[in-house]
Amino acid sequence: MRSRSRLLFFYAALFLLFLYGPILLAPLFSFNDSTFATFPLKGLTFRHYAEMARNTGLLQALRNSLIVATATAVIATAVSLPAAIALTRYKLPGAGAILTAMSAPLIIPSIVFGVALLIIILRFLDLELSLWTIAASHVFICIPFAMTVLMSRLEGFDKSLEEASRDLGEDAWMTFLRVTLPLAKSGIVSSLLLCFVTSFDEFVLAFFLSGTEPTLPVYLFGQLRFPNKLPGMLALGSTILFFSGLIVILAEILRRRGVQSNSPGDI
């Protein structure tokens, strides 16, 4: 039994190394005092991070990504919350088909989705490509994540609390504001964070629909064509990796806290 446990531990360690090892090389080379990402390291320096902070094009792309990600997170969560309530509180005909349709963006390849949206926006809607076309496409891909988190939270607390509120004379809207919304708060925050990270890191749709205002991933891709820009892009990627990881961890903590809580006093 002990040898089996050691073997499983060794396998898990190799799997994690294979999965995250290449990603962890980016922060390492971002401190390398050289243009080339090779071993041995020439020296340790923070100048690549200082140059990144002075890059106006990068800062503008960062601003664009923050605008798109914030708008996407708010809209996707606002759209998904009523749908999650309907699917968890009522026996809707075709609920399975609705969930399948909402999960379609996870199944359809992003490049197919991007080309289709590009044709619709330019040929049928006759709209200019902008940050808002990117945000609209990101809403579609974020809805499945928001639905999963919100449905998990709404199914995790005692539904009799809502019934008690209605029995005491509150209408559906006040029950939602005073009971459902406070209980679902952790799921809503988790949904906002996950949607924000998903939109902030997304590249394919932003590449097709960005127009003249690139988001941060599109800007990063464009800069990789120049070898002398590589250290700064590694610093940028390391910074994104750090903050994205923090947001995902926070979202998961909030989600688990919400699922384990079954009364308003636990939240």
Task: Give residue 64's pLDDT.
Answer: 92
pLDDT at position 37: 62
What's the pLDDT tens digit per position in 15-66?
888 877 777 777 777 777 666 666 676 767 777 777 777 778 888 988 999 9
User: Which regions in the chain score pLDDT beneath 70?
Assistant: 1, 33-39, 41, 43, 92, 95, 156-163, 166-172, 177, 227, 251, 254-267
| pLDDT, position 264 | 46
Domain membership flag for residue 213: yes
pLDDT value, residue 265: 45
Structural domain of 46: 28-266
List the structure tokens of 87.
Answer: 């699917």
| pLDDT (0 to 100) of residue 160 | 66
Cβ atoms 208, 55 nearer than 8 A? no
What is the pLDDT, as a whole number, of residue 259?
55
Specify the pLDDT at position 33.
Answer: 67
Instruction: Give me the amino acid identity at 127.
Output: L
- As to burial, measured by CB atoms within 10 angstroms (0-12 exposed, 13-18 middle, 19+ buried), residue 214 is buried
The CATH number given to whatever domain includes residue 239 is 1.10.3720.10
In contact, 135 and 71? CB cutoff 8 Å: yes
CB 251 within 8 A of CB 194: yes
Residue 124 lies in a domain: yes
How many independent structural domains does the chain possess?
1
Cβ atoms of 67 and 57 closer than 8 Å = no
CA 104 to chain CA mean position, Å: 17
Total residues found in the chain within this entry: 267
pLDDT at 75: 94
In sign, the C-alpha dihedral spanning 73, 75, 78, 83 is negative
In a domain, 15, yes or no: no
Q: Judge whether 1 lies within some domain.
A: no
pTM higher than 0.85:
no
What letter would DSSP give residue 41?
P
Residue 262 included in any domain = yes
